[in-house]
Amino acid sequence: MEFAILGPLEVRTRTGNRIRLGGARQERLLAALLLNPGGPVPVPRLVDAVWEDRPPATAARQVRNLAGLLRRAFRKADPTGPPVLLTDGRGYRILLDDHGLDSRLFADTVTRSRRTAAAGQQSAAAAGLRQALSLWRGPVLDGLEGQLIDAGAVPLDELRLTAWEDCLDLDAALGRHRASIPELTGLVADHPLRERFVGQLMRALHASGRTADALTVHRRFTGRLAEELGLDPSPELRRLHLALLTAGVDPDSGPDTDPEAAAEGGPGPRPGAPAPVSVPVPVPVPAQLPPSLATFTGRDAELAALDAFAEAAAPVGDQVSFPASSPVPNSAPGSGPGSTSAARDSAVLICASRICAVTGSAGIGKSTLVVKWAHRVRGRFPGGQLYADLHGFSAEPPLTPHAVLARFLRALGVPGEQVPSVPEEAAALYRSMLADRRVLVVLDNARSAGQVRPLLPAAPDCLTVVTSRAGLAGLTARDGARPLALDLMPAPDAVALLDRVIGTRRARSEPAAVAELASVCGRLPLALAIAASRIAERPGRTVADHVAELRDSGNLLTALAIDDDAASAVRAALDLSYRTLPAAARTLFRLLALAPGSGLTAAAAAALCGERGAVVRPVLDQLATAHLLTHEGGDRYRLHDLLRLYAAERAAAETGRAVSSAARERLGTWYLHHADAAARLLTPHRRRIPLDAPGPWYEPPAFTTAAGAQRWCESEHSRLLGMVRAAAEHGPDALAWRLPVALWSYWFTSPHLDDREEAARLAVAAAVRADDRYGEGHARNDLATALGALGRHDEMLAELRLARALFAAIGDRAGEARAIGDLGDHCLGTGAYGQARLHFQGALTLFRAQPEEHRDDWAVRVCETNIGVAAMLAGRAREADEYLHRALDRHRSTGDPVLESITLYHLGDHHRRLDRPAEAAVRLRQALAVLDATTRNLRLRADVLAALAGLGETAGPPDGQGSPSG
């Protein structure tokens, strides 16, 4: 299928038949996708593209419908063709691997032509650029309007103009001056403030013997520039103007050309006419960029950020894109005329950063990204491209700034013996050499801002891009560098990289295995490249075989290495970063491997170290600056999978078992006491298990409300479960059963039923190992409630009988009462409502018999509520009404939104059974209001909504009842 956006939007089949898309909205949706070729576009952005500022309430659903209509149109037009429109995460993307897009063909052809020009094949390069320009049928997406579409068209329009400029420069180099004058005259008329077209027209006129006309063009341009923008021409154009004035031509004379000149070279000056302006012998133009990786994939957002940096750094009045070479009469070697894009006619002069610091962890792809981008934009820097690997994180010593300056100066034409031996003098000469040039400087693998600072050009037309594993905050603060931090590759990009290296056909035959491989490699580009290269070398094995080999290797870091190339290994890359850390940071990094999951808070990290948060936070920041830890914002940090493996490896080698056990126990204690603090807020009147006081390092949690406690439990859910698993595996057993029991108040309303069961089973096993009958009784009772929530009533009954017997054996009457009350829940679940009432009444009697200072008031109110539920289910309406309303009053008076919402739900059910739907709806809406305002009991909320739907009602306000307690 062929897509065309360089003009009106068109879609054609492989046989050339045009596809009708079915409407303007489908066209706008497809246009937004094609402006981001191959990349995902989220649904909100598609909504903006289709409806601009006035989307309907159903816009997201309509986008999905429109995508379905496009898919059907594509399938109908080409039933056997490859897929086109794919769902990608939270949006959609156009798959272009087997399809054509004129804008991509245009960009690729321009790139190839520029490479051809750089190789000295000027005629072939000019022909290639003409071929690329012929793809344009009009403005981008002609006929479609909108801010997003217009914004997406700007880069393509700019690329078209710069390609046109490159083509005309090549024509000039080939002597085609006269032939280009009509074309340039039209371009200057269409883009009157684009300075490069003006300079090209002036040179073409002068070379054709029409210097006076060239001066007239300059006079008109400078007048317009001053009138509309209040600006002067660039130094390059001023030099060109001066060269023409001194070329020996009367500014008032007319054209002075030889009509008999050869057509290919254009009309030259007639005999006796002034000679063309001479160009001095150029100094060397360095082109030091290393090769761009052919398998580079993805990083569209980062490439766009670098593009934005380059454009923002270009002063108004200077052009944004430049060809590889642009001969200018009497100009500084390697410089080119500037221009102002018509899209920026109304811009104002700003001072923008000329330095970008690209940072990220080892193997994240910093150098690959920057080199790829630098090659893509090298045409903007006719003064050359300087590159140096500073060895900041390398087996070799870091390069001194003076050593790099010497290399750069020699590349710029300074004889070796004339390079100053004093670093400050070398830096001054370097800045002088670049003063009038437009040069891109790439400083790769920097150790610190101090290593980089002497290498920064002072010229406003030069850009510097630095890569480093360090944060380079000093470069940002003092030198105004714009930071760009790289994270792991998004999953689609990681899969695409593997696809590119091992071959599309092979990758698509095993999509699940390729996705798993990306996950196993932690989406780290270095690891992905290593794994993909190993697969490519062994075509006889499946991708699934390689994934299994990695998983079974026993040491993933060892497996992710290239034979006979020690530097190309994930472990070697991480070693270089780890060794540069201070001792305290290395210690903390190793301890982080003991934390469950990939993320943790600064307070949890402090618990690992047995220190207060104020001591540990600066060390965490050191790790984040070294990109061995990711600061996710606020108080939270993340260690990605391969870094976690590496930290565990270093911990095993350098941290003693006793130190690791103590750290793990401190972290478990921190989670246990935070879980207990959450329980005090979620179910403040419920009896809890006693806990020993934590150490002096412990700091109380930041949350102080039930809502805050709920949010903390939800945000830490996976780590809490991981901590239970770790305690069950490594000990202590007391923690392994206490933490799940302390979490019961959270589990009670949590939708994570399977995790709740797993934690309870681990708690039972730990208590049995420890021969702790008190702990076993609580753990079995909690396991029973988890099984009941899952509807497994037979298993629930068996656990409750064991729990009751354990509590009775140790004389724990409150524990026995809890087990009896939960037996009542079991009976409710199995339809034995009379037996349920007896159990609830028996539990209530035991709870009330406890001394008042130890009585579990929460359990008492639960039993009273459940007696009302049992009466309702048994058909005893009056008793149900009495117990449920009394329970509701008590829950409200004690400020217990958890039990209040549950009781309101049961009252709604009670009124429904009495055929009083209006009263039922009121109670259900009140329950919903309490749930939404105070607690996130997602399972109960679903039940309430289902009950309202059963009444034919919607979730509206509580029908004039005021507050939820009304």
Phi-psi region of 909 (alpha: psi -120 to 50; beta: other; left: phi over 0): alpha
Q: What is the dihedral of CA 208, 209, 214, 215, to 10 degrees?
A: 170
DSSP, residue by residue, 889-944: HHHHHHT-HHHHHHHHHHHHHHHHHTT-HHHHHHHHHHHHHHHHHH---HHHHHHH
**Under-70 pLDDT residues of the chain:** 246-283, 294, 312-353, 554, 561-568, 935, 955-966
Q: Residue 939 in contact with residue 751, Cβ under 8 Å?
A: yes
Which amino acid would we find at residue 795? Answer: E
pTM: 0.58
**Distance (Å, rounded) from C-alpha 252 to C-alpha 210?**
10
**What is the chain's length?**
966
Q: Dmax over Cα atoms in the chain, in whole Å?
A: 123
Token pair 């071959």 in the structure block, residue:
503
Which amino acid would we find at residue 113? Answer: S
Distances (CA, A) of 30 to 88, 655, 906: 15, 56, 51
* Cβ neighbours for 874, distance < 8 A, ≥ 6 positions apart: 833, 834, 837
Secondary structure letter of residue 269 according to DSSP: B
* Cβ neighbours for 357, distance < 8 A, ≥ 6 positions apart: 466, 467, 468, 472, 475, 476, 481, 482, 483, 484
**Distance (Å, rounded) from C-alpha 261 to C-alpha 269?**
8
DSSP, residue by residue, 510-546: SHHHHHHHHHHTTT-HHHHHHHHHHHHH-TTS-HHHH
> Considering only CA atoms, which of 167, 170, 176, 171 is closest in space to residue 264?
176
Beta strand spans in 9-118 (E): 10-12, 41-42, 85-88, 91-94, 100-101
> Considering only CA atoms, which of 260, 116, 243, 240 is closest in space to residue 178?
260
Paired sense of beta strands 482-485 and 384-389, if any: unpaired
Which amino acid would we find at residue 437? Answer: R
Secondary structure letter of residue 453 according to DSSP: G
Angle at 410 between CA 406 and CA 415, to 5 degrees: 110
Q: What is the dihedral of CA 619, 621, 626, 628, to 10 degrees?
A: 80
**Distance (Å, rounded) from C-alpha 192 to C-alpha 341?**
9
Q: Residue 735 in contact with residue 664, Cβ under 8 Å?
A: no
pLDDT score for 935: 67
Within 10 A of 281 (CB to CB), how many other CB atoms are there? Answer: 5
Q: Using omega within 30 degrees of 0 as the cis cutoff, is the peptide bond preceding 700 cis?
A: no
With residue 783 as reference, give the H or E element that holds it: helix 773-789
* Cβ neighbours for 847, distance < 8 A, ≥ 6 positions apart: 814, 817, 855, 856, 859, 860, 863
pLDDT score for 353: 58
**Distance (Å, rounded) from C-alpha 550 to C-alpha 538?**
14
Q: Residue 953 in contact with residue 921, Cβ under 8 Å?
A: yes
**Distance (Å, rounded) from C-alpha 239 to C-alpha 236?**
5
Q: How far is CA 685 from the centre of its chain?
A: 43
**Distance (Å, rounded) from C-alpha 928 to C-alpha 801?**
35
pLDDT score for 247: 62
Token pair 């109670």 in the structure block, residue:
923
**Distance (Å, rounded) from C-alpha 315 to C-alpha 900?**
64
Q: Residue 884 in contact with residue 872, Cβ under 8 Å?
A: yes
Sign of the four-CA dihedral 775, 777, 778, 780: positive
Structure tokens at 705: 């409300």
Q: Using omega within 30 degrees of 0 as the cis cutoff, is the peptide bond preceding 732 cis?
A: yes
